[in-house]
Structure 1
Amino acid sequence: MVQMRASLATLILVSLSACSVPGPGEAPDGVHDPHEQTNRKVHAFNRKIDQKVLRSAGVGYATVVPEGVQDNVSNFADTVALPGTVVNQILQGRPGPATRNTVRFAINATLGFAGLADVATDFGIPEDNSDFGETLAVWGVPEGAYMELPFLGPSTERDTAGIVVDFFTNPLDYVIPSEYSSLGTSAYVLSKVGDRGRFADTVDSIYYESADSYAQLRLIYLQNRRYELGEEAPADEIDPLALDTEGF
């Protein structure tokens, strides 16, 4: 446990030092992308993976698997992730959302058949998502440079550090038997494959029908993420509510 905490502390320190730009307002046109050459290569790789694997898998999953089963998988993935969300909300000093998500987890894990059903939403307790990238933003860590990650898609230096730390912050990972530890990850991956199928037209329009899919996806991600975090965004950017880019 001591070694794990030391490793987590090191990751946090690295994340704090990695984000060198004070935020979206400090870069020309609100985009700081000093790694664009490398990012474009990663983007080309992600497009190939999508074209050869993810698109067909997503459309097949959304077509073949009954919608109710897809919902069960997504609900389970969301329920398993909730304790990690609660940890982040506590670190952000948000006891209200942390309490609601704790109650939501308890309801769905019991009355919702181990999280397969979203009973809590029917009770008026919707999920309030969060992650360590948001925690860093609350702590005042700047956004840093834009990044595109293999398989995971668009991100920033701050959010990339958050993704790494989130691997260690879910309490369930330390209490459930090891043979069940991969179920949540598998459910998450399946839910994202399903999302690729359900939103195939939207994703295709960005990846394969735009003049510069890299630039368009970068703009959509940054606008959407900054809106989620309540950060300022340039007024001429697109509507952040128009698209959900998570999992691209």
Structure 2
Amino acid sequence: MGDATISGETNSRGGQTIRPREAEHFGALARDWWDPKGASAMLHRLNPVRLAFLREAIDAHWGGDRRAPKPLAGLSALDIGCGAGLLCEPLARLGAEVTGVDAAPENIAAAAHHAQGSRLDIRYIAGDVATLDLGTFDLVTSMEVIEHVADKPAFLAALANRLAPGGLMILSTPNRTLRSRLLLVGAAEAVGAIPRGTHDWDDFVTPEDLRGLLADAGLTMGEPRGIAFSPAKGLHLSDDLALNYIVTARRA
């Protein structure tokens, strides 16, 4: 399930990369994005797993104190396809100066409202990362987004352009495997764990494909970690990449 509604389908009228139907699909979910039992319940369960990986990657990249409560203090962070801010708010609590971008204005409104209620100073912008004048950031994240992108090279090039020298990028996405087709698209959408129409399995990206796409964008991909599920552990980081995975990337 995507946090985002940023896409890579080129629009000749201005070079935008937003796929309108994706923006409409996720914008319709904005009202209950923060409801842990609502349409975005899966993201609420996924977020702690992603944050565990993110914290480990931050400490390794910048060599910080693993016990420090704000390892991103003094650093800027950009979350592309931020939805209603499920990742932006933890990044702000980790000390970053955070910008969130999403194609759906409804999501940005929900994100800004929730941040205000949480007393967090986060800059939210509705629009297309490829056309916005954003500058560069120390940390660039885009979680569960690239599978909703038609022109993946253009999308990753836009992300790479937002990454400051010495910066860190973190991406997560479903893998394109038989298991993901059966469970993430078939079973999860059938039982309502993920809203119907969220995923197109043909748009999923394998780790090998992503490594090549990142290389074309001038980035080197780290070793992926799987996000797996078991009845005993729930969602957890794993060596099993079959369902979903999360990776770091740096300038080559």
Higher strand share: 2
Task: Answer whether TM exceeds 0.5 for this pair.
Answer: no
The higher-RCO structure (CA 8 Å, 6+ apart) is 1
- TM-score, normalised to structure 1's length? 0.29
Q: Which has the higher helix share?
A: 1
Pick the structure with greater CA Rg.
Answer: 1
TM-score under structure 2 length normalisation: 0.28
